[in-house]
């Protein structure tokens, strides 16, 4: 115990030094070290206060304003929320409604909640506070009365969410309810027609339905969280009654981590790729010494633990995460394992990039990122060797490094506990992403074969579909704004709720772009948003997924904007480039399409315009473009 304060002093000094210098990565490293050494809450208090004092960071943090509305004293989660936000690159600003004031804050148009202009609103209400009929007042009630109570809560939640949605485009996180720890029917509860626990689950299903219907509203599975840690250790009955703080001291941090999964997704920080080592990571033992059949992998421990880990990695690919290998091994040995060891859950084709050689991993990782066209900050590196982990952390601080524990049975937790791959939506594209990258690789091969770029584009046999954003494509459209970094003119992130606001307005032109080619369907890969400003149609967002960069789909998008501007009787199309570290591929977009540069904005931003008098951008004739007409307004 004493050690936590003494060894912590080095990490503290390092943290203070880095904070004063505004050195983001070193401050994160020191903060992680401090938290690793001592889980004590006072470390969080210290870190939170110093973070509040810090003003500038390099690289800069992404601001996020979070409003906490609760029926209990949720302020105990604040230090952890600020600190974990920082560890994820977010500068958190927090507004807290008075406890139990969640209804008033939402209903009062002039409340501090709306003045705060939150990005995320967390509605954390304990079941016992909102639905006493299911908790302490449960016994002796008729089913019909309980049912009426459940219905009333759902209706109230629906009405509150509607009100909130009407006044704020914030992402909303609504807690579901954990069943009571002690059941009033005792051992009968599980078997009774509807015991207390079943009623709570029934209510949770109804609440989930309410959330599904409301754009930008997500259910926080609080019941699942309590189960994960166990109700006996989750709660502190003493503090519930004494300080209206029902959660045990060491669990507030876990609640904050759960919120952080959503915050990360809202800000486009979801990880896209896992790079794994091989020896003692995908299997036990060393391939070069044990041979393709001698490595530990199979139905018996420890081989069973490595298989379980491989299975979870495979499951991640179905959520759209890419897999890659960075290993110091002989390629021929690894090929032999893939070809011969039938215990391998992961096959060669599940990996989108392989770096198997004896060069340092600090070279392999940038190579993989380049090949997959993703930023290193979207890469997770997993290795059992602490030295290689440290080497990567130091050389490539933007890479999230998971240094595996000694015991292989703990690998799955290490992979999944922080929810690094959690996204707010799962699109049809996600489950096929690995396959899509393989298609792209085939297309790249074709590019190498064919002579001119136009010839290459023709040979792809592209079919481009430009369609209004619909309820069905809404999640994908928001996801594209959150995840696209390279071919993105303004890199503004939007939530589903913000897009819905635009869908409702007649003046906004919103369109998704789908691309098929002879290698398969890439799904929705582009998004366009524009609105009239005086005589011009002004492009707010134009982005393309990196899968289809360099195939002149953007030419079709600009031709579409010109056509739409013409239809609306406008005489000009305008656009802006807001330069970021990532969007080099899009910088020349307007110049290449005949736009003239207008005045330069602040911080390197450039403005461009194209008069339609000259005919605008012409449709590329090497692809088939289908424009789906329709009213972009969603059903209310």
Partner 1 sequence: MERRIKQIMADVLDLNPKSVDDSTCQDRVASWDSLNHIQLVLALEQEFAVSFEVGEIEAMLSYPDIKHVLERKLGE
Contact set with partner 1 (CB under 8 A): 1-2, 4-5, 38-43, 45-46, 49, 73, 75-76, 238-239, 242-243, 245, 249-250
Nearest approach in angstroms of CB 76 to partner 1 is 7
Distance CA 260, CA 254 (A): 10
> Residue 227 or 243: which CB sits closer to partner 1?
243
- The neighbouring-strand residues paired with 579 are none
Q: Give, for 437, the enclosing helix (H) or strand (E).
A: helix 433-449
> Residue 49 or 347: which CB sits closer to partner 1?
49
Nearest approach in angstroms of CB 186 to partner 1 is 28
> Residue 37 or 206: which CB sits closer to partner 1?
37
> Residue 256 or 513: which CB sits closer to partner 1?
256
> Residue 352's closest CA among 440, 445, 227, 287?
440
Quick one: CA torsion of 330, 275, 404, 231, rounded to 10 degrees? -150
> Residue 12 or 361: which CB sits closer to partner 1?
12
**Cα distances (angstroms) measured from residue 576 to each of 505, 508, 525, 617, 619:** 22, 17, 20, 16, 21
Nearest approach in angstroms of CB 45 to partner 1 is 5
Nearest approach in angstroms of CB 239 to partner 1 is 7
User: Could you give the 3-state DSSP secondary structure of residue 101?
Assistant: coil
Asked whether 72 and 244 are in contact (CB, 8 A), the reply is yes
Q: Kindly state the tokens that stand for 24.
A: 């983001």
Nearest approach in angstroms of CB 253 to partner 1 is 11
> Residue 52's closest CA among 9, 101, 93, 13?
93
Nearest approach in angstroms of CB 106 to partner 1 is 24
Nearest approach in angstroms of CB 37 to partner 1 is 12
Nearest approach in angstroms of CB 39 to partner 1 is 7
> Residue 96 or 593: which CB sits closer to partner 1?
96
Asked whether 288 and 333 are in contact (CB, 8 A), the reply is yes
Distance CA 149, CA 479 (A): 36
> Residue 38 or 366: which CB sits closer to partner 1?
38
Nearest approach in angstroms of CB 173 to partner 1 is 23
Nearest approach in angstroms of CB 249 to partner 1 is 4
- The neighbouring-strand residues paired with 608 are 575, 597
> Residue 50 or 383: which CB sits closer to partner 1?
50
Query: What DSSP designation does 127 have?
Result: H
Q: Kindly state the tokens that stand for 406.
A: 């000694």
User: Could you give the 3-state DSSP secondary structure of residue 500?
Assistant: helix
> Residue 4 or 459: which CB sits closer to partner 1?
4
> Residue 129 or 250: which CB sits closer to partner 1?
250
Nearest approach in angstroms of CB 102 to partner 1 is 19
> Residue 181 or 249: which CB sits closer to partner 1?
249
Nearest approach in angstroms of CB 355 to partner 1 is 43
Q: Kindly state the tokens that stand for 626.
A: 């289908």
- Which residues, in sequence order, are CB contacts of 372 under 8 Å at separation 6+? 272, 273, 322, 324, 352, 353, 437
Nearest approach in angstroms of CB 38 to partner 1 is 8
Distance CA 77, CA 122 (A): 12
Asked whether 403 and 423 are in contact (CB, 8 A), the reply is no
Distance CA 365, CA 361 (A): 6
Note the Cα 72 to chain centre separation in Å.
28
> Residue 250 or 333: which CB sits closer to partner 1?
250
> Residue 48 or 264: which CB sits closer to partner 1?
48
Distance CA 146, CA 368 (A): 56
Q: Cβ of 362: how many Cβ atoms within 10 Å?
A: 17
> Residue 47 or 123: which CB sits closer to partner 1?
47
Distance CA 562, CA 509 (A): 12
Nearest approach in angstroms of CB 68 to partner 1 is 14
* Count of H-run helices and E-run strands, the chain: 26, 19
> Residue 78 or 430: which CB sits closer to partner 1?
78
- Which residues, in sequence order, are CB contacts of 451 under 8 Å at separation 6+? none
Asked whether 537 and 573 are in contact (CB, 8 A), the reply is yes
Nearest approach in angstroms of CB 79 to partner 1 is 8
**Cα distances (angstroms) measured from residue 467 to each of 515, 620, 627:** 11, 18, 6
Q: Cβ of 588: how many Cβ atoms within 10 Å?
A: 10
Angle, to 10 degrees, between the axis of helix 222-229 and the axis of helix 252-266? 140
Ordered DSSP codes for 192-233: STT-HHHHHHHHHHHHHHHHHHSTTEEEE-HHHHHHHH-HHH
Distance CA 32, CA 16 (A): 13
């Amino acid at each position: 115990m004493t050690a936590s304060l003494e060894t912590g002093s080095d990490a503290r000094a390092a943290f203070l030094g880095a904070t004063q210098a505004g050195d983001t990565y070193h401050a994160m490293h020191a903060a992680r070290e401090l938290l690793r050494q001592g889980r004590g809450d006072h470390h969080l208090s210290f870190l939170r206060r110093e973070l509040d004092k810090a003003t500038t960071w390099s690289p800069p943090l992404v601001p996020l304003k979070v409003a906490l509305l609760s029926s209990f004293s949720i302020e105990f989660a604040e230090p952890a929320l600020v600190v974990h936000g920082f560890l994820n690159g977010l500068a958190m600003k927090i507004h807290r409604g008075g406890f139990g004031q969640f209804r008033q804050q939402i209903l009062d148009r002039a409340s501090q909640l709306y003045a705060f202009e939150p990005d995320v609103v967390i509605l954390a209400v304990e079941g016992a506070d909102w639905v006493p009929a299911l908790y302490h007042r449960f016994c002796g009630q008729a089913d019909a009365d309980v049912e009426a109570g459940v219905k009333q809560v759902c209706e109230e939640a629906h009405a509150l969410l509607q009100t909130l949605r009407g006044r704020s485009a914030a992402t909303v996180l609504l807690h579901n309810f954990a069943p009571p720890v002690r059941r009033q029917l005792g051992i009968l509860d599980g078997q009774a027609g509807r015991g207390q626990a079943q009623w709570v689950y029934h209510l949770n299903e109804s609440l989930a339905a309410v959330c599904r219907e409301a754009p930008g509203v997500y259910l926080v599975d609080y019941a699942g969280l309590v189960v994960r840690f166990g109700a006996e250790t989750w709660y502190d009955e003493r503090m519930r009654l004494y300080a209206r703080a029902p959660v045990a001291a060491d669990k507030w941090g876990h609640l904050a981590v759960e919120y952080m999964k959503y915050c990360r997704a809202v800000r486009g920080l979801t990880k896209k790729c896992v790079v794994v080592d091989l020896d003692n990571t995908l299997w036990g033992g060393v391939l070069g010494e044990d041979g393709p059949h001698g490595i530990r992998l199979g139905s018996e421990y420890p081989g069973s633990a490595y298989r379980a880990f491989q299975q979870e990695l495979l499951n991640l690919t179905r959520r759209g995460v890419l897999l890659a290998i960075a290993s110091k091994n002989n390629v021929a040995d690894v090929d032999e394992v893939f070809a011969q060891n039938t215990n391998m859950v992961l096959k060669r084709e599940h990996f989108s990039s392989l770096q198997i050689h004896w060069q340092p991993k600090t070279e392999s990782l940038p190579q993989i990122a380049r090949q997959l066209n993703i930023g290193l900050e979207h890469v997770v590196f997993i290795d059992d060797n602490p030295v290689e982990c440290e080497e990567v952390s130091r050389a490539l601080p933007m890479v999230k490094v998971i240094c595996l524990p000694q015991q292989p049975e703990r690998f799955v937790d290490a992979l999944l506990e922080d929810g690094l791959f959690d996204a707010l939506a799962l699109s049809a594209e996600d489950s096929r992403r690995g396959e899509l990258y393989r298609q792209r690789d085939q297309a790249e091969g074709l590019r190498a074969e064919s002579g001119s770029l136009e010839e290459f584009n023709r040979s792809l046999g592209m079919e481009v579909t430009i369609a209004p954003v619909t309820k069905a494509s809404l999640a994908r459209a928001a996801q594209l704004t959150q995840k696209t970094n390279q071919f993105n003119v303004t890199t503004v992130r939007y939530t589903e709720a913000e897009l819905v606001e635009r869908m409702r307005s007649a003046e906004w032109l919103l369109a998704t772009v789908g691309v098929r080619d002879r290698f398969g369907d890439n799904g929705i890969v582009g998004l366009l948003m524009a609105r009239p400003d005086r005589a011009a149609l002004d492009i707010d967002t134009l982005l393309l997924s990196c899968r289809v960069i360099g195939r002149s789909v953007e030419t079709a998008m600009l031709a579409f904007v010109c056509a739409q501007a013409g239809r609306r009787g406008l005489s000009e199309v305008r656009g802006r480039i807001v330069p970021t570290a990532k969007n080099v591929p899009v910088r020349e977009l307007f110049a290449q399409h005949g736009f003239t540069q207008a005045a330069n904005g602040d911080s390197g931003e450039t403005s461009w315009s194209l008069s339609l008098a000259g005919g605008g951008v012409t449709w590329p004739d090497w692809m088939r473009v289908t424009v789906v007409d329709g009213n972009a307004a969603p059903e209310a």
